[in-house]
Chains A and B, each alone.
Chain A
């Protein structure tokens, strides 16, 4: 067991990556699904094992092929990576468990093996980003996960997914290219791609122009991938037109992993070495975060398409995460990272509830779900409870991150009150856009809604179970928040530990 334990960081990537082509060989739809789910479950188990290792002993490193470290490829797992490994693999597993019915409806039979294979590649790519300690490796895994996600998004029956995915592809490629140009310049100046090595060596050339240009390219490129406002334009449509289950998965983890690289790069490499970078970071990111929170929440309040509404809400929630990080304090970063975890929980539950609705309602628009709570009581109850978590009602996971975030901004000085004001206002906006749906679904009259003529019935049991598991997790982590809080506090310490 201990021998296996040592290889866990590598297995985290290898298991889903090698399973991807194997799934392709299984022609039978249900078998493909079962194999994918099982693989994802294994991957989640590995993430849990890594998490326990980190909680017990701290960080673990792994040298690929036993090459010594600035020369070979190094993998490193610490509290920060573990936090997101749990999110990525947990979300993937939970979604897959409930997904069969919904995916079978959305995706043509002969494409399903390809689809599941792409799903595993996406998971492998995201895991790879999270465990590697090498800047070029990050690029490779970023491209693997991105290409796989383009396939996933465009796999649905909705033709409008194609222009959406094209925009996503162009933006994603620009982001990845910018990142590549950035690390190219850094490699030119320092001769290393290992992040830890880079941190030490960049010091000698920190005042040179190419390094500053590289910092610019890397930051902008990653911000584009992470949908940091105002580089978020690809996100709403990609989420809206993707198959419902894909939306759940992407919304829970895709942008967060890009944010992970952004923060890791910034705090490990740039903050300790570039003069005045910490202030630039804070003063750029904070106003953008505030704008994201306010503008995106406002758009969400007036959006009739439910998936796009939640997508805009995601843009706003990313603003919370970057707001916390932009405070550059232990409390602030902890709050931001904690919100990565908690927002993933809330959004996954909400999109899962939408996926349940999507089983009966083709176009998830507000007017099409009038009075639907009578036919789908369990789905709508899940939606309401998950919505409470998004709003941040006490007793839910969303409340915990809001509590930490507001405490952090109070601590940040005289501006803190204004920041707290923004957080509070956007929470109230969340009340508005969630409650709009609740009112229509519970009190709307069916006559106007049932134009499609399709019979509306409760979603299949596995999907409902997945949804309610997500809802239950929102409440569980609302009352027993010590695990995510512990992980994000440690992660924040690690990030801040690199600033002199």
Chain B
């Protein structure tokens, strides 16, 4: 198969999967779940099959069609997008295994609709990852917002609807209100929106206008959840946990920070931005978000909301790393996307497993739960350690690179922020871990229960293992990303 056909296959497999899921659902639930798993497996295999070419320095390209002169739907696989697509598609397999346990364990309604929109969301995610220009990116970005709405509003009661309204409202407002003008502005000054190594704006836009355009992009990409456009993420926690785990810890939010990074690297150009003082605010905005979101997380009692605020802080790590504008930090940004994905999906899996087994959602209810659910809580502990950045977990690797980049740039704001937030992460995660293992369970507080359904436990064990493995086997990722940013010194 030629590489262009492979890219097309990556987009079509999830779409074909939705049809398969709908047809299979008429036969029975087991066949439907098989369809999801097969689709996920096929997608991951196809995405990974592009890797050797990208590793070899090639950039597979697929040109679909021209809408009007200057506006193309086209795809190019470059290292950042390759990493993102590989991450999302691989974790979809694990997440599908987990979903089976979760959705059946909680006897959720409308499961077919759930799996169908999940597959469609993945198609949109792949589209974002491989987009060759700003227009294509925007097309799939909006599609992802709309396709995840039915997943967020899955329960359909009044409270869920209100949250789903916040979700859709913030993401649509920012994307139409800020991102679209930013994209049109870029096309207007630069004459194209093609993602080009070194950026396309250097000869066209200088000074304060550049900082303004950056602001339109960063806040327009509401999925990156830089404060103050972060409120949709805690609102999205009303969704079933598999949605929170894959979409709101990996696919959707990473689509946000991925888009910001991609735009900084390929539209603005790292060097051009570094030479423009008016772009300096981004670092402070990200640092502010990291600290404040961590402080808010400290005060959360609901486990999923706590994880949501932790995600907001961790996303801004990626933004801050990208905003340091030094090669090592940019590598750190992409490594952190992976490390955080493994860690946070584990944490959400654990939160969902706890809910499935015991219906517990609040932090204080978790006292002593480690003895009842040892596998789940071990995974939770590993995820938490990765969030803090303790070796031997993936979180340590990315923090190392971001810190190295910060030192390279003599950026003390970034260094200070990383140190403080590490302390804050420890302050809100370690008490939970302590409580779960060493706390005393309140007598008669809840029903007797053991571990979550087997499928869920398998899934969270896999991701916890990945979190640790990534500490050791991160070489390929760094080698891949070095292609854009220059070799790490």
Residues of A within 8 A of B (CB): 388, 391-395, 400, 402-403, 406-407, 410-411, 420, 424-425, 427-428, 431, 435, 439, 443, 478-482, 485
Is A406's CB under 8 angstroms from B184's CB?
A: yes
Given the known interface contacts A388-B146, A394-B139, A394-B142, the answer about A407 and B184 at a Cβ–Cβ threshold of 8 Å is: yes
Asked if residues A481 and B67 are in contact (CB atoms below 8 Å), the reply is: yes
Which chain A positions have C-beta within 8 A of B363? none
Number of interface residues of B (CB under 8 A): 29
Give CA–CA (A427, B174) in the complex, Å. 12
A205 to B98, CA, bound (A): 82
Q: Which residues of A contact B391 (CB under 8 A)?
A: none
B466 within 8 A of A: no
Contact B184 A410 (CB under 8 A): yes
A435→B176 CA distance, assembly (Å): 15
B138 CB contacts on chain A under 8 angstroms:
394
Give the distance in Å from the alpha carbon of A402 to the alpha carbon of B180 in the complex. 10
Asked if B143 is at the interface of the complex by the 8 Å CB criterion, the answer is yes
Q: Are B139 and A395 in contact (CB-based, < 8 A)?
A: yes
Determine whether B56 belongs to the interface, using a CB cutoff of 8 Å to chain A: no
| Those 3 A-B pairs whose CB atoms lie nearest each other, nearest first | A394-B139, A406-B184, A481-B68
A424 to B143, CA, bound (A): 18
**How distant is the Cα of A394 from the Cα of B156 in the complex, in angstroms?**
27
**Residue in B135, B156, B180 whose Cβ sees the most chain A Cβ within 10 Å:** B180
Name 8 extra pairs, CB < 8 A, besides A411-B188, A443-B156, A482-B68: A393-B146, A400-B67, A407-B184, A407-B188, A410-B184, A424-B181, A428-B177, A435-B168
- The answer on a CB contact under 8 Å between A410 and B68 is no
Inter-chain CA distance A233–B99, complex, in Å, is 54
Closest approach, in angstroms, between the C-beta of B1 and any C-beta of chain A? 25
- Is the pair B161, A439 in contact by a Cβ cutoff of 8 Å? yes
Of residues 140 to 189 in B, which have CB atoms within 8 Å of A's CB atoms?
A: 142-143, 146, 153, 156, 161, 165, 168-169, 172-173, 176-177, 180-181, 184-185, 187-188
Give CA–CA (A402, B175) in the complex, Å: 14
**C-alpha gap A174/B170 in the complex (Å):** 45
Q: For A480, what are the chain B residues with a Cβ–Cβ distance below 8 Å?
A: 65, 67
- Given A400-B67, A479-B73, A481-B68: A410 in contact with B185 (beta carbons within 8 A): yes
Q: Which of B89-142 contact A (CB under 8 A)?
A: 135, 138-139, 142
Residues on the A chain within 8 Å of B455, using CB:
none
Q: Chain A residues with Cβ under 8 A from B169's Cβ?
A: 431
A403 and B184 within 8 A (CB): yes
Evaluate contact between A428 and B188: CB separation under 8 angstroms. Answer: no
Which residue of chain B lies nearest to A485 when distances are taken between CB atoms in the complex? Answer: B68
What's the nearest-Cβ distance from chain A to residue B158, in Å? 9
Is chain B's binding surface mostly helix, strand, loop or mixed?
helix
User: What chain A residues lie within 8 Å of B143 (beta carbons)?
Assistant: 394-395
Task: Tell me the smallest distance from the CB of A330 to a CB of chain B, in Å.
Answer: 14
Specify which chain B residues have a CB less than 8 angstroms from the CB of A407 in the assembled complex.
184, 187-188
B458 touches A (CB below 8 Å): no
A408 CB to closest chain B CB (Å) equals 10
B172 in contact with A428 (CB, 8 Å): yes
User: CA A427 – CA B176 in complex, angstroms?
Assistant: 8
A403/B176 contact (C-beta < 8 A), A420-B181, A435-B168, A443-B161 known? no
Minimum distance in angstroms from A338 CB to a CB of chain B: 10
Q: Count the A-B residue pairs with Cβ separation under 8 angstroms: how many?
A: 65
How long is the Cα–Cα vector from A443 to B65 in the complex, in angstroms?
37
> How far, in Å, is B156 (CB) from chain A's closest CB?
5
| Distance of A269 Cα from B245 Cα, bound (Å) | 64
Give the docked Cα–Cα distance between A481 and B66 (Å): 9
Distance in Å: Cβ of B215 to nearest Cβ of chain A:
14
Partner of B68, one of A400, A406, A435: A400
A478 partner residues in chain B, CB cutoff 8 A: 67
- B477 an interface residue at 8 Å Cβ cutoff? no
Query: For residue B38, which residues in chain A have a CB less than 8 angstroms away from its CB?
Result: none
* A101 to B187 CA separation, bound complex (whole angstroms): 47
A-B contact pairs, 18 of them (CB 8 A): A394-B135, A394-B138, A394-B143, A395-B143, A400-B67, A407-B187, A407-B188, A428-B173, A428-B176, A428-B177, A431-B169, A431-B176, A435-B168, A443-B156, A443-B161, A480-B67, A481-B68, A482-B66
Given contacts A424-B177, A424-B180, A439-B161, are A403 and B71 in contact (CB under 8 A)?
yes
Tell me how far the C-beta of B169 lies from the nearest C-beta in chain A, rounded to whole angstroms: 8
Using CB atoms, name the residue of chain B closest to A478: B67
A439-B157 Cα distance, complex, nearest whole Å: 11
- Expressed in whole angstroms, the Cα–Cα distance for A478 and B142 within the complex equals 14
Given contacts A411-B188, A428-B177, contact A443 B146 (CB under 8 A): no
Q: Give the complex CA separation of A425 and B138 in angstroms.
A: 18
Q: Which of A392, A411, A481 contacts B176 (CB 8 A)?
A: A392
Tell me, in angstroms, the Cα distance from A435 to B153 when the chains sit together.
13
Beta-carbon contact of A410 and B188 below 8 Å: yes
Please, which residues of chain B bring their CB within 8 A of the CB of A402? 180
Q: Are B181 and A406 in contact (CB under 8 A)?
A: yes
Q: Quote the shortest CB–CB distance from B147 to chain A (angstroms).
A: 12
Contact A479 B65 (CB under 8 A): yes
Closest chain-A Cβ to B324's Cβ sits at a distance in Å of 30
Residues of chain B with a CB closer than 8 A to A400's CB: 67-68
A428: chain B residues within 8 A (beta carbon):
172-173, 176-177
- B184 and A424 contacting across the interface, CB-CB below 8 Å: no
Report Cα–Cα, A481/B73, bound state, in Å.
Answer: 13
Q: Given the complex of chains A and B, what is the CA–CA distance between A403 and B156 in angstroms?
A: 34
- Cα distance, A403 to B69, chains bound together (Å): 12
Q: Closest residue to B141 on the A side, CB-wise?
A: A394
Given contacts A406-B184, A431-B172, A480-B65, contact A393 B142 (CB under 8 A): yes
Report the bound CA distance from A75 to B168 in whole Å.
51
Which of B278-337 touch A at CB < 8 Å?
none
Report the separation of the CA atoms of residues A435 and B184 in the bound assembly, to the nearest whole angstrom.
25
Chain A residues contacting B65 (CB-CB under 8 Å) are: 479-480
Which residues of B sit under 8 angstroms from A391, Cβ to Cβ?
Answer: 176
Q: Which residues of B contact A393 (CB under 8 A)?
A: 142, 146
Q: How far is the CB of A324 from chain B (nearest CB, A)?
A: 15
Chain A residues near B177 (CB-CB < 8 A) = 424-425, 428
Q: Which residues of B contact A482 (CB under 8 A)?
A: 66-69
A439 touching B165 by the CB < 8 A rule? yes
Q: How far is the CA of A424 from the CA of B65 in the complex (A)?
A: 27
Q: How far is the CA of A443 from the CA of B181 in the complex (A)?
A: 33
Bound Cα distance A482, B70 (Å):
11
CA distance A488 to B185 in the complex (A): 22
Give min CB distance, B86 to chain A, whole Å: 25
Contacts of B66 in A (CB 8 A): 482
Which residue from chain B places its CB closest to the CB of A479 in the assembled complex? B67
A482 to B69 CA separation, bound complex (whole angstroms): 8
**In the complex, A388 Cα to B175 Cα: how many Å?**
14
